[in-house]
Chains A and B, each alone.
Chain A
């Protein structure tokens, strides 16, 4: 077992709460999350378990960050990240970050209280699984082309949204679209006339979607955020998803590296454990270093994010951690297989699930190169006056 930093002797209440959250996630993971699940779920039409999602809701996790007025716990991104990290470490295909953090917060940051009152309690209770449909090209900075045209009080939407996570199993979509001079956000329940979802398989064995909108009518009651607040709401929820998504990658790193160091200790070749070969020892240490850089940066980023700042500052923080987490995770994923040898390349062995989920989540919401670019743009690199 990889050792985690020892708990402080005198804990402040926030720390203590986070530790308890972590422990309950750990206990849940030990009981409920078995890697073997991944082998059966990927064969289902929806590749996560709604019953388990409901249990997670009962644990308070789907509403952890949502307003208390709608049944949530109104906790911050640091607490959410702690839970996500522990669950992800044991492999979690359920869309906690995509639905509860990204979509949930996006709805909460909007300016439609009646819609919040309708959707958020259902999300908190585990009865609603929303997804965000925002991306239109390969890159996160590809411009939004989808349009929402006003038709009286209602809107008509046209456009194509790709890489929507979750695709299979989503009950509805928060869709971003150009609306006048601003960005509007609209709630489109799955199966709405004119909204067609095409599924594609992600490396992690879940289906993500391409949502094609042809003259989809959205009533005023389903406007998540008006064009006045849409862009700001989106950026905030996107940044929160980046941070929680990085925590998810960190959990996967820990799981993959644990498996790998265990293997190094037990696999014998040339009469000794392969972990006694210095060539592997040094690289294992390099991986641990990347993992711990991510962990330390995550704590700092979450804290600074909660303290607040300008839009650019918050964007830079979130991109900083997603860039680090994606790179570190990809490196650990590749090395985990390399250090296992051929068995690591088999479907029968669990390390591949970590590898695949890491590939999927490193690309999702922007890979490390995209986030370094975003960081540079938002932090003013090269613009010193």
Chain B
């Protein structure tokens, strides 16, 4: 077993770069849209076979156990090469949750299949009337022998049409405080009674779905963290989500694209543009510094403080400002949909401007993050 963390950063970087160059499909570089499973699964399998698929997971569960500094290098090398994001709810959300809270049987049943890519996971939390106020969710699960029977509707589940499995928050007790009657369930997406309907986004893809549950029978053994303890599980998981969504990946990638475009179209001849660009560059650099603070806590196995929410706010809003400057720099081409010619390179300008919108909505909207920060960190009343 290679001890990655013992390597020098430079040595690790060279190996990572070569792995990507040797294996990542040329035609999927710099994808302008979020890739579907069918398009990117081969890359997932390649990483899986080579042992690179779960760089942040502990070695005993099939990961590389990379230290944060090395993880950042891995992310940077992917960005530099324009590697697209594979469906990663298994790797970033449910996998770590199972590692932390799952039973030994659940670990054995699910973790290896996330690593191999046999299982693809989708998240079913939100409902039409339970968005920011997630705890008011109503999809119901009633125990019937050794199964739960689930009824209700979920919405906004990212790429659920490609999922083999869903992790679902359900109501199991209506007579207690709303947070105390919620249970976390693992559900096979092929169970009878589940209907998944893709929803088209304004960016023109069907990135998320509605998921209907009609008398869906789920083994009671598929509960994580105990019946009526789902809210605690979800909150643990939101910790991973906030650090993941707060990673510099998105803004750094967009900044790289902006720099390339700006070089091609001569935008750096304009001192005003250069100033705006530099400001964003420093915003991303300092985001990296802030990010390291929290990854360090994670590495030491510590508890993330509530102010980790800052990461998500700064990362997504920096991303949005980069997307805005890209549209501005592109002038007339800033109003075009799809790939267009920019000084000899082809780029889809709008994709970042579109995707900057939901980034400040999902994973706890930025308003909700600010509410958390003002109450839990600044101790303001309310």
Stretch in A1-9, A94-102, A196-204 touching the partner: A196-204
Do residues B335 and A360 form an inter-chain contact, with CB atoms below 8 A? yes
Instruction: Chain B residues near A270: list those with CB within 8 A.
Output: 132-133, 136
**B331 to A, closest residue via Cβ:** A138
In the complex, which residues 176-223 of chain B have their Cβ closer than 8 Å to any Cβ of chain A? Answer: 199-204, 208
> Interface residues, chain B, CB within 8 Å of chain A?
126, 129, 131-133, 136, 155-156, 199-204, 208, 265, 272, 320, 324, 327-328, 330-338, 340, 342-343, 350, 353, 357-358, 360-362, 365-367, 370-371
Q: List 27 A-B contacts (CB under 8 A).
A: A135-B332, A138-B331, A138-B343, A140-B332, A203-B335, A203-B350, A269-B131, A334-B357, A337-B202, A337-B357, A338-B357, A341-B132, A342-B358, A342-B361, A344-B361, A345-B357, A345-B358, A346-B199, A352-B202, A359-B327, A359-B334, A360-B335, A363-B331, A363-B334, A366-B331, A367-B327, A368-B328
The answer for the CA separation of A79 and B203 in the assembled complex, in Å, is 36
Q: Whole-angstrom distance between the alpha carbons of A280 and B371 in the complex?
A: 12
- Cα of A378 to Cα of B338 in the assembled complex, Å: 34
**Contacts of A341 on B, CB cut-off 8 Å?**
131-132, 361, 365
Q: With contacts A342-B358, A359-B327 known, is A348 near B199, CB below 8 A?
A: yes
How far, in whole Å, are A356 and B353 apart by their CA atoms in the complex? 11
Bound: A200/B333 CA distance, A? 10
Q: Which residue of A lies closest to B276 (CB)?
A: A369
* Contact B200 A347, beta carbon cutoff 8 Å: yes
Q: Which of A342, A348, A369 contacts B328 (CB 8 A)?
A: A369
Is A346 a contact of B200 with CB atoms below 8 Å?
yes
Interface residue A263 (Cβ < 8 Å from any Cβ of B): no
Q: 1/0 per position for A188-202, CB-CB distance to B under 8 A?
A: 000000000000111
Range class of the A interface residue count: 35 or more
Cα–Cα distance between A58 and B340 once the two chains are bound (Å): 38
A128 to chain B, nearest CB (A): 25
**In the complex, A361 has a CB within 8 A of chain B:** yes
- A269, B338: Cβ atoms under 8 Å? no
Interchain CB contact under 8 A, B337 and A342: no
User: Are the C-beta atoms of A203 and B331 separated by less than 8 Å?
Assistant: no
Minimum Cβ distance to chain A for residue B165 (Å): 22
- The answer, yes or no, to whether A364 is at the interface (CB within 8 Å) is yes
Kindly name the residue among B129, B342, B353 whose own CB sees the greatest number of chain A CB atoms within 10 A: B353
- What CA separation (Å) do A211 and B359 show in the bound complex? 37
**Would A277 and B367 count as touching, CB distance under 8 A?**
yes
B202 touches A200 (CB 8 A): no
Q: Among A200, A330, A337, A369, which residue has its beta carbon within 8 angstroms of that of B338?
A: A200
Query: Are B132 and A359 touching (Cβ within 8 A)?
Result: no
Q: How far is the CB of B130 from chain A (nearest CB, A)?
A: 8
Evaluate whether A359 and B350 lie within 8 angstroms (CB atoms) in the complex, with A341-B131, A345-B201, A346-B199 already known.
Answer: yes
Q: List A contacts of B131 (CB < 8 A).
A: 269, 341-342
A362 contacts across to B, CB distance below 8 A: 334-335
A202 to B129, CA, bound (A): 34
In this assembly, does A370 line the interface, its C-beta being within 8 Å of a C-beta of chain B? yes
Q: With A277-B367, A279-B367 in contact, is A363–B199 under 8 Å at CB?
A: no
- Docked complex Cα distance between A279 and B366 (Å): 11
The 4 nearest A-B residue pairs measured at CB: A363-B335, A138-B331, A352-B202, A347-B200
Question: A203's closest neighbor in chain B, by CB?
Answer: B337
Q: Please report the C-alpha to C-alpha distance between residue A341 and residue B328 in the assembled complex, in whole angstroms.
A: 25
Q: Contact between A279 and B370 (Cβ–Cβ < 8 Å)? A: yes
Residue of B nearest to A204 (CB): B335
Note all chain A residues with C-beta closer than 8 A to B333: 138, 163, 363
* A278 nearest in chain B by CB position: B382
Bound: A366/B361 CA distance, A: 30
Tell whether, in the assembled complex, residue B367 and residue A200 are in contact, meaning their CB atoms are under 8 Å apart.
no
What is the CA–CA distance of A359 and B336 in the complex, to the nearest angstrom? 9
A205 to B338, CA, bound (A): 11
Q: Mark A351-385, 1 if CB is under 8 A from B, else 0.
A: 01001100111111011111000000000000000
Question: Do B202 and A355 touch (CB < 8 A)?
Answer: yes
Check A139 for interface membership: any CB of B closer than 8 A.
yes
Contact partners of B199 in chain A: CB under 8 A: 346-348
Q: Residue A162 at the B interface, CB < 8 A?
A: yes
Give complex CA distance A356, B338 in Å. Answer: 13
A345 & B361 in contact (Cβ 8 Å cutoff): yes
